Structure 1
């Protein structure tokens, strides 16, 4: 039994006239009658009783009609769902992000806009450092990941520039320069720097070290932090000073102050990473939308 047989049957069942059903289906009356007879023979029951004015459904026909309508409706829904998934309008999109990326307004704006545009796509979010997220991406655990872009260029991964953020100084309120609005980075040459391990966030680590070297000194290694939000807390606990992306200044922790730097601007880039061979429509839709939000 094929779906067309079910469609033929329902057309006759609704018209109760083979000739009118044939006209509706756009086929000849004799072929339609043959198909109905073949369906009845295959099922081993009579679906219609012939009358002088057309046909009427038998009890078997009545029972089959209810299920036949359900089958065609389920088939229609299945086709629509497949087409919707093919357009990236449903399914699940797995998004990774670094702790610092989550504070950038572009990230929240993009995710909010995507949810509004594709309400039937379920979003799952995973936080990790850059190294972890690139591993997740390689393993297919996440489809896209917001990362701090440095010199790394993993095989099979492409980066889409999203934003460039200035770096700011974060100091404990007890620091001798805490009341300054702008600070020369060289003035912190003797202070220990609270940083993430380079293996966890090579870009952020390298930006901080590079800025210090540009200012004429090698940063004093202080307490290491497990994630960027912890950097601010450790600074508040007077373990040292640090540099953070400007969006992280939203973290209002008691005991710290933020300040701009004088001299050459120091910035860090935010990028959206994806697998080069990624062909899923929902991922492509997210990347296309991201280009509209990019601030670079």
Structure 2
């Protein structure tokens, strides 16, 4: 068995059709079929159920199990190749991806601190969604990521919480609600509300207390990015529930208030993630420097807004 057989199987398993898989792999169908047969003979199990004519297929239970591991093996192979090439080129850089809320405070502070520790190492920054970051890390395209906890699987990755804040209400400054010391979930649900588009709602449920408590807000606008949500709130188009890190933006036209009935208490976390294998010197230095800086900066993990 070699990586070629795995690639062939993954293509067929994803297409569920030998013809489409062969076209995707830019090869003829008979050699592809023979490759899968060799793989099955090596493993001693049938990976595919072949329909009459042998073109359309379905995946056996053994095939489903093997597919997950084959994808991971191929991803690791790509990662190893990328890291080897970077090492051969003498790359002294670190590729850091992040979600938008990391820009409010923690990422700029980490980069400034790292430049003091390693001034000759270049930091390349890439804004990506949490899911895009995990895929990029596993594929070796990125070195370190900063994601929102609970919005993507972190399986196979090392992780460290680098900022923790309560979930807060973002209220237009001109609304009467903004004059209160705090708000309830019921009050927020009764106001014009800004939330992520439908396709992001399952992800948002991990950090959105309204959905967790069964409230159905009056949706007046949808926005996928936190920065966009805050801009709309500042324009008076609606309120929202956002990560407490947004308080660091100091944007005009917005009042951030604690939510008094969060049960259980919900906090938002930014998590630094990385792939432990194939650790470069620059990557190891960045992770170590970030850990030391977070440990020396207690306010990054302080949830005093909830208590105040």
Q: Distance in 2 between matches of 1:281 and 1:193?
A: 46
Q: 1:212 to 1:114 in 2, by over 3 A?
A: same
Based on CA coordinates, which of the two structures has the bigger radius of gyration?
1
Contact in 1 for aligned 2:130/2:152 (Cα 8 Å):
no
| CA shift digits 1:39-85 (9 cap, x unpaired) | xxxxxxxxxxxxxxxxxxxxxxxxxxxxxxxxxxxxxxxxxxxxxx9
For residues 24-53 of structure 1, the C-alpha deviation after alignment (integer angstroms, 9 at most, x for no partner) is: xxxxxxxxxxxxxxxxxxxxxxxxxxxxxx
Who is 2:128 aligned against? 128
1:276 is aligned to 276
Tell me what 2:237 maps to.
239
Deviation at 1:241, TM superposition (A): 1.0
> In 2 relative to 1, CA 131–111 (structure 1 residues): closer, same or farther, beyond 3 Å?
same
Partner residue in 1 for 2:103? 102
Which of 206, 215, 218 is 2:216 aligned to? 218
Is contact 1:148–1:203 with CA below 8 Å preserved after alignment?
no
Deviation at 1:200? 5.9
Give per-residue Cα distances to partners, 1:201-244, cap 9 Å, x unaligned. Answer: 96555211xx1145552334442224211111111233321112
Please identify, of 216-225 and 110-119, the stretch whose mean Cα deviation from structure 2 is larger: 216-225
Q: 1:123 Cα shift?
A: 0.8
Where 2:134 maps in the other structure, the secondary structure is helix
SS in 1 for 2:207: helix
The separation in 1 between residues aligned to 2:200 and 2:135, in whole angstroms, is: 12
CA separation in 2, counterparts of 1:226 and 1:214? 19
**Contact 2:151/2:206 (8 A) holds in 1:** no
Q: Distance in 1 between matches of 2:169 and 2:131?
A: 24
Q: Secondary structure at the match of 2:179?
A: coil
Query: What is the count of residue pairs matched by the alignment?
Result: 207
Structure 1: 5+ residue stretches without partners: 1-84
Residues 96-136 of structure 1: CA distance to partner in whole angstroms, max 9, x if unpaired? 1110112133x333222211111111111111221222233
Structure 2 CA distance for partners of 1:198 and 1:110, relative to 1, 3 Å = farther
Conserved 8 A contact 1:148-1:204: no
What corresponds to 2:291 in structure 1? 291
Shift in CA distance, 269/199, structure 1 to aligned 2, threshold 3 Å: farther
TM-score by length of 1: 0.61
1:263 — aligned with what?
A: 261
Partner of 2:193: 193
1:107-118 alignment, distance < 5 Å = 107-118=107-118
Normalising by structure 2, report the TM-score: 0.59
Q: Distance in 2 between matches of 1:156 and 1:206?
A: 20
Do 1:131 and 1:201's aligned partners in 2 also have CA atoms closer than 8 Å?
no
Give the Cα–Cα distance (whole angstroms) in 1 for the partners of residues 243 and 184 of structure 2.
Answer: 17
Aligned alpha-carbon RMSD (Å):
2.8
- CA shift for structure 1 position 152: 3.2
Report 1:73-92 matches (<5 A): 91-92=92-93
